[in-house]
Amino acid sequence: MKIIKKTTIALFLLPITFGCQLKNKTHFIEKSTINKITALTSSIHFLKEECNNEWLPSEAETISAALRMMGQNKSDISTEFHTEISSMAKIRYAEIKSDILENDIKCRELENLLSNFIIKINN
């Protein structure tokens, strides 16, 4: 009787355990992608607005280029994804802007960090 109860409990918990792990792994990948793109988008926005680099791409162009480079199909990306990226990018932009470093230093560091992306997006 105890073996049947333990087996029943184990069979009940097994799908929940594996289902949750699979879902969390997928969510982690999506969150990781969103974090990378928001960091990129907010940095490009800062360079454009605060460092007088008006020639840099818009937010939508930056997101599209980043997704292409990551091998993502743009048609698979939802409006919710773009909205989340946009709102998170605004928050990160405000954080970059409010940092105590001088703008010249921030501009140089971001230009160095993003130079490969900027070269690829302009080609």
Q: What CATH class does 42-122 carry?
A: mainly alpha
Angle at Cα 33 formed by Cα 70 and Cα 23, nearest 5°?
A: 120
Residue 5: the pLDDT is: 44
pLDDT (tens digit, 0 to 9) for every residue of the chain, 123 residues total? 444 444 444 444 444 444 444 444 434 447 888 889 999 999 999 999 999 998 999 888 898 888 888 877 666 567 777 888 899 999 999 999 998 889 999 999 999 999 999 888 877
Domain parsing of the chain, residue ranges: 42-122
Q: Is residue 77 helix, strand or coil?
A: coil
Length of the chain in residues, anyone? 123
Using alpha carbons only, what angle is made at residue 90 by residues 115 and 24, rounded to the nearest 5 degrees? Answer: 90
Residue 36 CB contacts under 8 Å (≥ 6 apart), including other chains: 66, 70
pLDDT at 75: 60
Model pLDDT, residue 80: 78
CA dist., res. 70 & res. 60, Å (int) = 15
Rounded to whole angstroms, the Cα distance separating 64 from 115 reads 17
Cα(7)–Cα(98) distance, rounded to whole angstroms? 57
